[in-house]
Amino acid sequence: MIPLDLSPNLIHQVYGRILDAIVDRSLPPGHRIRQIELAERLGVSRQPVSHALHLLHRQGLIAESGRKGFQVTRLDPLRIRQLYQVRGALDGLSARLAALRLKLDASGRAELERALQVGRDADDTTPLATLIGCDVDFHRAIYHLSGNPVIEETIGAQWPHMRRSMATVLAELDYRASAWAEHEAIAALILAGDADGAEAAARQHAITAGEFTEQRLSASSQAA
């Protein structure tokens, strides 16, 4: 991890850098986190690291381990499937609303088209972190176009966990292609104003991703 410059939002920078390391498995599940080591690697004092770790702890991304220590939690396959079931309902709703108000929001349509193009430009050499960012941006564009901010507010707290789950499945080259093909299909239905089709496609996309992630996580835990 690259050392950070001091700034007023240093805690959030430290939080983001540690979260990125958890997502890309630089800090793998079960890894014991040492505040002093993290502070040295990031070039900051222990105080912002301590605050950031407590934020991550409240989100369930790290757990207490030993005296005043933490370790990276492991993804629970069942929990991930349940999370994607809820996300499927919200994604379906957001896709429906986006299709219905498409003509009323030119900037929202442009945002969706930009996110779609960025994803198209990705290939097998694109870094995993970039792919995850493309995936998140695509879905956020739909949430914005839906015109209902409560959808993203509801999902927002779960994005760190979903980013971790995305890393599990997007590491598979075959799944990268199929996932973006599904994105293309969802976007096409939204841009065509097909509310029913967009809702069904978005919901099924989330359910499929959840099932695939659960299978991968279960297989990994059994192999371990």
The burial of 27, by beta-carbon neighbours within 10 Å (0-12 exposed, 13-18 middle, 19 or more buried), is given as buried
Angle in degrees, CA 40, 45, 47, rounded to 5: 130
Give the model's pLDDT for residue 84. Answer: 93
Averages of pLDDT over each 10 residues, the chain, 224 residues: 64 92 89 91 91 93 84 90 94 98 93 93 85 93 96 91 85 79 96 97 94 84 54
Domain spans of the chain? 10-72, 77-223
Give the model's pLDDT for residue 56. Answer: 94
Domain 10-72 has CATH 1.10.10.10: yes
Please give the CATH number for the structural domain made up of 77-223. Answer: 1.20.120.530
Give the model's pLDDT for residue 147. Answer: 96
Report the distance separating Cα 156 and Cα 152, nearest Å: 6
62, β-bridge pairs: 72
Give the model's pLDDT for residue 173. Answer: 66
Give the model's pLDDT for residue 3. Answer: 62
Q: Are 146 and 97 in contact (CB under 8 A)?
A: yes
Give the model's pLDDT for residue 49. Answer: 92
Give the model's pLDDT for residue 25. Answer: 85
Report the distance separating Cα 181 and Cα 197, nearest Å: 15
